[in-house]
Amino acid sequence: MTILGRPKLLAQMVTPKPAPNGTTPAPSPVAAHPILLYDSPMTVNLNSETIQMIPLEPAHTDGDTAVKFVKGDVLMTGDVFRSEGFPAAAITNGGSVLGTIRALDILIANAGPNTKVVPGHGPVTNRDALVFHRDMAVTVRDRVRQAIREGKTLEQTRAAKPTAEFEARVAGPANFINQFVDALFNELSAQGR
């Protein structure tokens, strides 16, 4: 049974959208639907732990939430942050790579110097990794934005390798590099930037 959830998460459970591979999952059974919906920060106390639910604007999907365990000083990010691999937005589920960059600022603001950061993928890490990941994403975003301003095509932008200096440190699946650059190019182009 799911207790808490975002309204857009519930909508996706009731009417799933196609996955990147083109298949559409079956709707979730009613028993799996969240009972309590929220779209603003919520605090829950459980077993003497204060748990903060931090809703994020569309980032990996349009229903992301970060979860902060205050006493334990642990921040769970879901797929909004990956300690290995470039940012990935599930566009078919309302995700936004530009929103992911903005969400990283919120995650950083909720992480202290000793916070354990539990990513959606990769090993547990810390606030410094969030800062690096955000700074890397902003640098690549700015390079892609500049390529668009110069009239470069997506293929030319990819060929310029805007992620090259970060690839060894970020690691992760190689196909995420093009997905990240492509998503930046498409979102920035749609905004006319």
pLDDT per residue as tens digits for the range 161-178: 999 999 999 987 888 899
Helices (H), the chain: 7-14, 97-109, 127-149, 154-159, 167-170, 175-190
User: Quick one: pLDDT at residue 127?
Assistant: 98
Mean pLDDT of the 48-75 span:
95
Domain range for 11 is 1-39
Indicate whether 73 and 106 sit together in one domain.
Answer: yes
**Contact call for residues 15 and 27 (beta carbons, < 8 A):** yes
Strand bridging mode 65-69 / 49-55: antiparallel
Other beta carbons within 10 angstroms of residue 178's beta carbon come to 13
Write out pLDDT tens, residues 37-51. Answer: 989 999 999 999 999
Return d(Cα 161, Cα 184) in angstroms, integer: 13
User: Quick one: pLDDT at residue 14?
Assistant: 93
Backbone angles phi, psi at 190, to 5 degrees: -65, -30
Indicate whether 28 and 79 sit together in one domain.
Answer: no
- In this prediction the pTM is 0.90
String of b and e for 57-82 (b: at least 16 CB within 10 Å)?
ebbbbbbbbbbbbeeeebbbbbbbbb
Indicate whether 27 and 94 sit together in one domain.
Answer: no
Indicate whether 160 and 185 sit together in one domain.
Answer: yes
Helices and strands, number each (H, E), in the chain: 6, 7
SS3 35: coil
Q: pLDDT-based confidence at 193, cuts 50/70/90? A: low
Indicate whether 62 and 145 sit together in one domain.
Answer: yes
User: Quick one: pLDDT at residue 1?
Assistant: 53
Indicate whether 50 and 11 sit together in one domain.
Answer: no
Return d(Cα 116, Cα 180) in angstroms, integer: 26
Q: pLDDT-based confidence at 18, cuts 50/70/90? A: confident
User: Quick one: pLDDT at residue 59?
Assistant: 95
* CA 36 to chain centroid: 23
What value does the mean pLDDT of the chain take? 93
Indicate whether 104 and 134 sit together in one domain.
Answer: yes
Both structure tokens of 9: 């998460």
Return d(Cα 138, Cα 46) in angstroms, integer: 37
Count up the domains in the chain and report the number: 2
Write out pLDDT tens, residues 68-115. Answer: 999 999 999 999 999 999 998 988 888 999 999 999 999 999 999 999
Return d(Cα 39, Cα 55) in angstroms, integer: 6
